[in-house]
């Protein structure tokens, strides 16, 4: 079962920690709800957490009963959160903490693209896939957006890209840019819009990545 992702999450990393077991696969099957009218007692917490620091960076480690075999690490409100399966031992966690913190920080350092990079990439994409669109964006910039990947104001030709994509693969960022650049000419998502968007060859792969990103944060 998926849950709503926490807000202000950035730089999400997820890796496999344990091989799937028969118990894991049984837990993932939908279970019928019991037909009982009795009042249920409150459930105990499904997670245990503790705090530590790595190079003066606050780190919160969550041992989650809902997480069966994957480990996740992400930046949230300045801290780094590491979520591990409940069965993970303290020794394993001690080894994982510096490794996952290092990956989050390294990802942040190498992946941040400037707004000048966005404008340069947009110019290339328009030439490559949208040559008929003569309208050009007056500005393209990063914005903190948790509900959308991008937006375009057709009137003033301003494009904003979610800063969650700062560490995304190039083909994913390109897909979102193409999507918003089409809106310079076509405000809606009708047939004309879809015909333009279909020109970008990695569209289905980019859509799968974005859906996986949201699903991963919801575990």
Domain ranges of the chain: 9-30+43-111, 115-217
Angle between helices 170-182 and 203-217 (to 10 degrees): 110
Q: For 4, phi and psi rounded to 5 degrees?
A: -65, 135
Residue 54: CB atoms within 10 A of its CB come to 14
**Higher confidence at residue 99 or residue 37?**
99
Mark residue 104 as left, alpha or beta (left: phi above 0; alpha: psi -120 to 50; beta: remaining). Answer: alpha
Under the banding of pLDDT at 50, 70 and 90, the label for residue 196 is very high
- Residue 140 per-residue DSSP state: E
pLDDT tens readout for residues 145-167: 888 999 999 889 999 999 888 87
Which residue's entry shows tokens 């405000």?
187
- Mean pLDDT value across residues 27-55: 62
- Residue 46: pLDDT above 80? no
pTM of the model: 0.52
Q: What is the DSSP string of 42-91?
A: PPPPSEEEEEEEETTEEEEEEEESS--SEEEEEEETTEEEEEEETT--HH
Q: Please, what is the Cα angle at 141 between 104 and 214, to 5 degrees?
A: 45
What backbone phi and psi angles, to 5 degrees, belong to 152? -140, 125
The span from the CA of 209 to the CA of 212, in Å, is 5
Supply 182's token pair.
């089409």
CATH of 115-217, one of 3.40.50.300, 3.30.2010.10, 3.90.850.10, 3.90.226.10: 3.30.2010.10
Q: What's residue 96's pLDDT?
A: 92
pLDDT band at 181 (very low <50, low <70, confident <90, very high): very high
Mean pLDDT for the chain overall: 82
Do 210 and 172 touch, CB atoms closer than 8 A?
yes
**Given this model, what pLDDT does residue 83 score?**
92
């Amino acid at each position: 079962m998926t849950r709503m992702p926490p807000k202000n999450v950035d730089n999400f990393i997820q890796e496999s920690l344990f091989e799937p077991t028969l118990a894991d696969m049984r837990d993932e099957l939908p279970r019928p709800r019991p037909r009982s009218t009795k009042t249920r007692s409150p459930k105990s917490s499904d997670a245990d957490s503790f705090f530590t620091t790595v190079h003066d960076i606050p780190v919160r480690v969550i041992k989650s009963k809902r997480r069966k075999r994957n480990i996740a690490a992400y930046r949230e409100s300045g801290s780094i959160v590491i979520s591990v399966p409940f069965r993970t031992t303290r020794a394993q966690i001690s080894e994982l903490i510096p490794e996952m913190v290092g990956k989050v920080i390294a990802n942040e350092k190498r992946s941040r693209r400037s707004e000048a990079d966005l404008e340069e990439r947009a110019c290339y994409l328009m030439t490559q896939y949208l040559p008929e669109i003569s309208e050009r964006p007056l500005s393209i910039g990063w914005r903190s957006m948790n509900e959308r990947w991008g937006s375009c104001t057709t009137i003033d030709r301003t494009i904003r890209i979610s800063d969650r994509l700062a560490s995304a693969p190039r083909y994913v960022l390109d897909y979102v840019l193409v999507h918003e650049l089409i809106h310079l000419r076509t405000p809606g998502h009708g047939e004309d819009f879809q015909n333009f968007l279909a020109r970008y060859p990695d569209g289905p792969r980019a859509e799968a990545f974005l859906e996986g990103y949201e699903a991963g944060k919801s575990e």
